[in-house]
Structure 1
Amino acid sequence: MMKNIKRFSAITIIGILLLVFNSCDDTSEIFTISAPTAPVLAELNFTDLELDAVNTGNPAITLNWNEADYGQQASINYAIQFASDNDFTAPITAATITGNSSITLSVNEVNAAAGNAGLNPFEWKALYARIVASLGSQNSEISASNVVQFNVYPYFNYVFNDYYMVGDATAPGWNNNNNNPALFRDANDSNIYSYTGFYADNGHFKILETKGLWHPQYGTDDGAVFWGTTPTNSSPEPERFPYGGGDGIPAGYYTFKMNFASKAFTFEAFDASAATSPASLTLKGTSTTDLALTALAFDGHIWYANNVRLTPGNVYFVTDSGANWGSSTSFSGVASDSGDSIPVIVEDDYDVWFNDLTGQYILIPLNL
Structure 2
Amino acid sequence: MKTIKYLALLLITLISFNACESDDSITYIAQPTGDLTFTNAFLEEYILIPSASSNIGERFTWSDADFDIQTNINYELQKSIIGDFTDTEVIGTTTDNSYAVTIGDLLSYAEEAGLDSDDATEMSDTGNVYFRVRAILGTDATLEIISETQALNLKLINGGETVEETFKNLFFVGDATAPGWSENNNNPALIRHSDNENLFSYKGYFVSGGEGFKLLEQLGQWQPQWGAGAGENEAAVNDGSGEDPSAFTIAADGYYEFTINTEEMTYSLVDYDASAAATYTTIGILGDATAGGWDADADMTQSTFDQHIWNINGVELADGELKFRADDAWDVSWGSANALSGFADIDGANIPVTAGTYNIWFNDLDGGYILIPVE
Query: Does the TM-score normalized on the shorter chain lie above 0.5?
Result: yes
Alpha-carbon separation, structure 2, partners of 1:347 and 1:192: 25
Alpha-carbon separation, structure 2, partners of 1:202 and 1:257: 21
- The CA deviation at 1:153 is 4.6
Q: Which amino acid counterpart does residue 110 of structure 2 have in structure 1?
A: A
- Partner SS state of residue 95, structure 1: helix
Alpha-carbon separation, structure 1, partners of 2:243 and 2:279: 41
- The CA deviation at 1:347 is 1.8
Aligned length: 236
Q: Does 1:208 align with 2:229?
A: no
Alpha-carbon separation, structure 1, partners of 2:243 and 2:113: 38
Report the counterpart of residue 96 of structure 1 in structure 2.
111
1:271 to 270, 273, 286: 273
Share of identical aligned residues, percent?
A: 36
Change (3 A) 1:102 1:172: same
Report the counterpart of residue 371 of structure 2 in structure 1.
363
- The CA deviation at 1:110 is 4.2
Alpha-carbon separation, structure 2, partners of 1:349 and 1:109: 28
Report the counterpart of residue 170 of structure 1 in structure 2.
177
Change (3 A) 1:97 1:198: same
2:202 to 189, 195, 201: 195
1:353 to 361, 368, 371: 361
1:262 to 261, 264, 270: 264
Report the counterpart of residue 329 of structure 1 in structure 2.
338
2:348 to 336, 339, 343: 339
Alpha-carbon separation, structure 2, partners of 1:205 and 1:177: 14
Report the counterpart of residue 243 of structure 2 in structure 1.
236
Alpha-carbon separation, structure 1, partners of 2:201 and 2:232: 16
Q: Which amino acid counterpart does residue 319 of structure 1 have in structure 2?
A: A
Q: Does 1:224 align with 2:245?
A: no
Alpha-carbon separation, structure 2, partners of 1:324 and 1:352: 16
RMSD: 2.9
Alpha-carbon separation, structure 2, partners of 1:212 and 1:302: 21
- Partner SS state of residue 275, structure 2: coil
Residues 197-230 of structure 1 deviation map (CA, whole Å, 9 limit, x = unaligned): 0001224000101000111101113431011111
- The CA deviation at 1:350 is 0.6
- The CA deviation at 1:325 is 0.8
- Partner SS state of residue 172, structure 1: coil
- Partner SS state of residue 178, structure 1: coil
1:296 to 282, 297, 303: 303
Q: Which amino acid counterpart does residue 226 of structure 1 have in structure 2?
A: A
Alpha-carbon separation, structure 1, partners of 2:268 and 2:179: 22
CA contact (8 A) 1:94 1:110 kept: no
Q: Which amino acid counterpart does residue 328 of structure 1 have in structure 2?
A: A
Report the counterpart of residue 149 of structure 1 in structure 2.
none
- The CA deviation at 1:157 is 2.5
CA contact (8 A) 1:94 1:109 kept: no
Q: Which amino acid counterpart does residue 254 of structure 2 have in structure 1?
A: G
Alpha-carbon separation, structure 2, partners of 1:337 and 1:262: 31
Please, what TM-score do these two structures have when normalized by structure 1?
A: 0.59
- The CA deviation at 1:241 is 0.4
Alpha-carbon separation, structure 1, partners of 2:349 and 2:114: 51
Alpha-carbon separation, structure 1, partners of 2:109 and 2:169: 25
- The CA deviation at 1:309 is 1.1
Alpha-carbon separation, structure 1, partners of 2:302 and 2:191: 16
Alpha-carbon separation, structure 2, partners of 1:99 and 1:93: 10
Q: Which amino acid counterpart does residue 282 of structure 1 have in structure 2?
A: G
- Partner SS state of residue 96, structure 1: helix
Map 1:1-368; keep pairs closer than 5 Å.
95-98=110-113, 102-105=123-126, 109-111=155-157, 127=159, 152-158=160-166, 160-203=167-210, 204-220=212-228, 221-231=230-240, 233=241, 235-242=242-249, 248-289=250-291, 290-320=297-327, 321-322=329-330, 323-344=332-353, 346-367=354-375
Report the counterpart of residue 48 of structure 1 in structure 2.
none
CA contact (8 A) 2:114 2:123 kept: no
Listed as ranges, the gaps of 5+ residues in structure 2 are 1-43, 48-86, 90-106, 116-121, 128-153, 292-296
Moved more, 349-358 or 92-101: 92-101
Q: Which amino acid counterpart does residue 336 of structure 1 have in structure 2?
A: D
- Partner SS state of residue 185, structure 1: strand
- Partner SS state of residue 323, structure 2: strand
Alpha-carbon separation, structure 1, partners of 2:270 and 2:316: 35
- The CA deviation at 1:343 is 0.5
- The CA deviation at 1:349 is 1.1
Q: Which amino acid counterpart does residue 256 of structure 1 have in structure 2?
A: F
CA contact (8 A) 1:166 1:176 kept: yes
